[in-house]
Amino acid sequence: MTSREVVLIINSGSSSLKFSLYDRDAPGNTPRYRGLCDYSRTPQVLRIEDLSTTPSTASDMAVGTPAPPERLAAAIDALQRWLAQSGQHLAAVGHRVVHGGPRYIQPVVVDDEVLANLETLVPWAPLHQADCLRAIQAWRKAQPLLLQVACFDTAFHATLPHEAASYALPRDLTARGLRRYGFHGLSFQSIVAQLRHHAPQVAAGRVVVAHLGSGSSLCGMVAETSQATTMGLTPLEGLPMATRCGSVDPGLVLHLLNEHHGDVATVQSLLYRQSGLLGVSQLSGDLRILLASDSDEAAAAVELLVYRIVREIGSIAAALGGIDALVFTGGIGENSPEIRQRVCRRLAWWGLDLDDTANHQAATTLHTRDSRIAIFRLPADEASVIAAAVQTELDRRASH
């Protein structure tokens, strides 16, 4: 079997491991392979899609039924076995890393110092950061000399104005990095590139992007730069999510800590893993299941989500001084016409006029001619952003 030099892009999330594989000489184009290990599926498999065929073809690599703490390691082991069996030779690996803190606002080559610095940020993103770093460490163990590049979800929001990034805390706490960072930045960066192609005049204006999925946040942009966002120091702030509560009264957190005798781990689990759509519905954190359910609790969870999305869109638009376009992305934003419709219906007073046919056909442009605000549906493509960063580093090394 002929070995092919490739660039691997890893997105290690709280609910799945995703990967994309690009040919070394064309990482900015469509990936050659794409894969997913969904941790909610039993038994787990690594689904691998070959995009070089027409139509694309899919195959499964067995992962088994690992316990939750071992899901990532088992998925990576399956991916490494498939890479070896299929004759792929890695030139580099790029990683989505959720938190870069105040230090990392550009992609960075991973070394011991970088890893140590990123480890200190685990408490600020407990559902995500540790798994991001475990993925990096797995490849360091397997191929110690392999180039690995970390790209950060927080980096896109480095342009936030001081007042948008600050909490009303004593200055010494702010100086220690306790401020709002924002997340989903790689997704938002990919939307900027797509919107620049589809509607350059709109991209240069005031745009609210709704990244809606198991984790959700909004970003308000002016001239393609982040000016406001709903997440903060951690990915817990903002909208209700699959299992995360979103913004709550800080006094409520203090109450829970008192109620649980200062047991931080219990309260953290409650807010991150037992709340959100799951907590309200007492059924599931999966929006598809809630929309299909006839229970009052499921309906209440969906209605709460829509309400909060609409309220936060208004808040961000106010911070931008108006809005020229609304973009839906993420697993829910891209795939749920009902949520898009409910959100836009509540904003009809503002001049949003959704084209129902385009919405149900999952078109790119969703607004009617009469709409005062443009509406788009665009796919989140973090992998292409990371691949471009890896290619830049490979080119830099090749030129020296």
d(CA 358, CA 338): 12
Q: Which two tokens stand for residue 370?
A: 């009469």
Catalytic residue chosen out of the listed positions 77, 153, 286, 381: 153
d(CA 58, CA 72): 21
Burial of 397 from C-beta contacts in 10 A (0-12 / 13-18 / 19+): exposed
Strands 57-64 and 225-229 come out as unpaired
Give CA separation, 92 vs 95, 117, 140, 358, 388, in Å. Answer: 10, 21, 11, 40, 12
Taking a C-beta distance cutoff of 8 angstroms, is the pair 349, 232 a contact? no
Q: Which two tokens stand for residue 331?
A: 């697993």
Q: Which amino acid is at 145?
A: L
d(CA 295, CA 31): 41
Burial of 247 from C-beta contacts in 10 A (0-12 / 13-18 / 19+): middle
Give SS3 for 46. Answer: strand
Burial of 96 from C-beta contacts in 10 A (0-12 / 13-18 / 19+): buried
Look at the block and give the residue holding tokens 């989505």. 96
Q: Which two tokens stand for residue 353?
A: 């006029």
d(CA 400, CA 394): 10
- Is 153 annotated in the active site? yes
Terminal Cα-to-Cα distance of the chain (whole angstroms): 32
Per the document, the length of the chain is 400
Q: Which phi and psi angles does 102 have, rounded to 5°?
A: -75, -15
Convert 227-248 into a string of H (helix), E (strand) and C (coil): EEECCCCCCCCCCCCCCCCCCC
Active-site residues, by number, are 153
